[in-house]
Amino acid sequence: MKNKFLKGIGLNVILLGLASFINDISSDMIFAVMPLFIASLGGAGIAVGLIGGLGDSISGILKVFSGYWSDKFGKRVPFVFWGYFISSVAKLLFPFIKAWPALAVLVPIERTGKGLRTAPRDAVIANSTLPSFKGKAFGIHRALDTTGAFLGALGAFLLFWFLKLELKLILFIAAIIAFFALLPILFVKEKITTLKKTLSLRISLKNLPLNFKRYLVAQTLFASGNFTYMFFVLKSKIVFDGIFSLRFAVALPILLYVWFNIIYALSSTPAGIISDKIGRKKTLILGYCVYSFTCFGFIFSNSLGLFMILFAMYGLSFGLIEATSRAYVSDFVADDLAGTALGTFHTCISLAVLPAGMIAGMLWNFNPNFTFIYGTVLGILSTLCLARVNS
């Protein structure tokens, strides 16, 4: 059964998935408490939108360059290794933050590591997999990634609720774990290609297929309404503050974030396999629709039961979209431009995250429900845009 399940999947996919698994234990221990940590430092609304959007936006600038450089030099693993290393070092500084504006500087530094590693890593996955199994490969990688995220978020809850650790100590423990993600990368083997002296960034972007660019527009529009998860967590805390005790009102949002990651992890591989069967476009449209319904539901959410349903839908939307969107990129281009295409893809959607976060933050200051109305509308518009892309 094991060999059948891994049919068409290279060892590199498993090793990179393991690195992501360990890294996401660390990252999601941090992410689970980050909105609460920001609130404890006096930040809210615009602060959440700025910190949530700025990190991914600045790191996104690196993604197209790292993808291009990995194509040009024919070496991708070094970008992956140093990307994880930079993120690990930056995480060590989180516990020492005393004011939320400092996070607006430090989080982008940590996300720079993500920008350096993401496109080359995805290119290694794509090139280590048979074409008809790419959806499964990215799905397996995302499943390992999100399983680590689930365990990290659960770990944060256990440390907070049962061991009664302070948020800063939880952040420090998470930072130490991050360094162990470097170990599997040492065993990744890639086929080294020759230096492409004639490959330029401008020419590479110009030569990307027209249909890929149309798909990129749809994904960028969706990213413009796909604001940070921290608004979802904070909305639940606002509701719980009026129902439960102070400590329970903090613990429940962390548990809901755990629940989100469970559904995300469980749906990632099936979603990738489904995209191999019915097509990436149909799978992505389904994911966009689920996200739109999720945002719409958050407008009216007022109970723990409803939040459990909505966070499950939120996780399902990520499972349907994340792996499939990356596999779809590799369907449009040849292997030698996979890094550049993936870098362009990640950069465009990452640059859309900052205005998404800022708009969501400004709307939040007027009324938190306005933030979710915004997400609903952008989700619907991006669905209509994606429907016009030729598969």
Residue 170 forms part of a structural domain = yes
The DSSP code sequence of 189-232 is ---PPPP-TT--HHHHHHTS-HHHHHHHHHHHHHHHH---THHH
Measured distance between the N- and C-terminal CA atoms of the chain, rounded to whole angstroms: 32
pLDDT in tens, 177-230: 999 999 999 999 887 665 555 555 554 556 677 788 889 899 999 999 999 999
Per the structure, the complete domain to which residue 311 belongs is given by 9-188+205-386
3 within domain boundaries:
no
153 domain residue, yes or no = yes
**CA separation for the pair 369, 349 (Å, rounded):** 24
Whether residue 375 is contained in a domain is answered as yes
Residue 199 maps to a domain? no
Closest CA to 350 of 51, 53, 50, 30: 53
Report the C-alpha gap between 114 and 27 in whole angstroms.
Answer: 11
Residue 165 belongs to a domain: yes
Quickly state the pLDDT bin for 66 (edges 50, 70, 90): confident
- CATH, residue 328: 1.20.1250.20
Q: Is 195 within a domain?
A: no
Answer yes or no: is 193 within a domain: no
pLDDT, tens digit (0-9, with 9 covering 90-100), for 333-346: 766 666 667 667 77
The whole-angstrom separation of Cα 374 and Cα 387 is: 20
Q: Per the structure, how many domains does the chain have? A: 1
pLDDT, tens digit (0-9, with 9 covering 90-100), for 261-279: 899 888 988 888 898 889 9
Q: What is the pLDDT of residues 321-335, one digit of tens each?
A: 987 887 788 777 766
- Residue 377 reports pLDDT greater than 50: yes
Q: Per-residue confidence at 18, pLDDT binned at 50, 70, 90?
A: very high
| pTM, full prediction | 0.84
Closest CA to 227 of 295, 143, 128, 303: 295
